[in-house]
Amino acid sequence: MNIKIYILLIVLLVSSETFTSCGSSQEDTSTDINIPNEDIDCCDENQEYKTSSYLHSLKELATYESNQSKYVIKLYTNDSLQVGYNDLYYAIEKVSNGKHVKDFNIAEITPIMTMGSMNNMQHSTPIGSIEQVDGVPIYHSWISFLMPTNTGSNNIWSLSFNYQIRDSVGAISNQPLNVKASSTGLSYLKSFKYNGDTYFMSLVNPNNFVTGVNTIKAYISKKSSTITTPYALASEQFIVEITPTMPDMGNHTSPNNEALTQSTDGTYTGKINLTMTGLWNIHLVVKTLDGTIVAGGDNDDSGYSNLYWTVNI
């Protein structure tokens, strides 16, 4: 064979193997690319951090399994439940990875007291609206419990609510809640009658008061005609005049207090001046917008309204 032809054949052979090898390598590499699937249920890393941080400052109260046990719904509060106003927070975690679900709804929150001491008579209690906490997948509401749990008398609170996670709808039903009595001598919930109906005044977070001028908040709820239906905020508007006194200090009062008036969100807000630490009675006079007194018009031995909250700072 001519040596030039031989060399040409070798060059062509080598070139052919090189091209085939390169083509094969590129094809194999493309099959190794792995794009992870995003979990469409759960928060991204940033939102998960914000959600966990928010819940870290709260107390986990209860955990409920969802339908098919794919999720757990967790209930949080600031502290132990007590008679009167309590904040409640709802968050949902996915069981498979422990991350928080980013898209869900909570509805139809229904607390029920079953009174074994009265032939299992049942009633509900005042509740607030359900709102999402800004920036995180957590829902907030509140419940103002009328009375404590008493297992000895078989007087038991239970909680029911509905939830929706994407296309999955379910319900949590009749889960027990332990509600403590208020500390001795303290009272954060008062009722009054007006036009034949019963109203409840719930003092918001009284444990947050400090010495000096404080913003004071409350809600006024109306008892439902069907008493097992949660008691919503009253549509009627009132003015609540307040006079704080110290029963252990000669019932002295304080200046610069402002009556509670209703805000657009339904909260009644005013100012209270608590000039020193100790026990305070917050005497209440409830008036209609035209100034007619509907509750708290009768004075007790202190000379002030016999309708009052009692707090300790």
Residue pLDDT, tens place only, 20-46: 444 444 444 444 444 445 688 999 999
Average pLDDT of the segment spanning 237-249: 97
Structural tokens at position 142? 């509140």
| pLDDT value at residue 38 | 63
H-type alpha helices, 152-306 = none
**Positions of E strands within the chain:** 59-65, 71-77, 84-94, 104-115, 121-123, 131-132, 139-145, 155-165, 168-177, 189-194, 197-203, 212-222, 238-245, 258-262, 268-274, 279-288, 293-295, 308-312
Residue 196 has pLDDT above 50, yes or no: yes
Residue 69 has pLDDT above 80, yes or no: yes
State residue 168's pLDDT score: 86
Q: What pLDDT digit, counting tens, does each position of 88-123 carry?
A: 999 999 999 999 999 999 999 999 999 999 999 999
Report the pLDDT averaged over residues 36-65: 91
Please report, rounded to a whole number, the percentage of residues in the chain having pLDDT higher than 70. 88
Q: What is the pTM of this model?
A: 0.86
Residue scoring higher pLDDT (2 or 72): 72
pLDDT of residue 121: 97
Q: What is the pLDDT of residue 39?
A: 82
Q: What rounded mean pLDDT belongs to the chain?
A: 90
Measured CA to CA, the distance from residue 294 to residue 288 in angstroms comes to 7
Residue 221 has pLDDT above 70, yes or no: yes
Kindly tell me if the per-residue pLDDT of 167 is higher than 70: yes
205 pLDDT band, cuts 50/70/90, is very high
- pLDDT recorded at residue 308: 98
- What pLDDT, on the 0 to 100 scale, is given for residue 18? 46
Mean pLDDT score, 196-219 = 97
Confidence at 291, pLDDT banded by 50, 70, 90: very high
Domains of the chain: 45-177 (2.60.40.10), 189-312 (2.60.40)
* Residue 154, pLDDT score: 96
Q: Given this model, what pLDDT does residue 67 score? A: 79
**Distance, C-alpha 163 to centroid of its chain:** 14
- Range 211-240 average pLDDT: 98
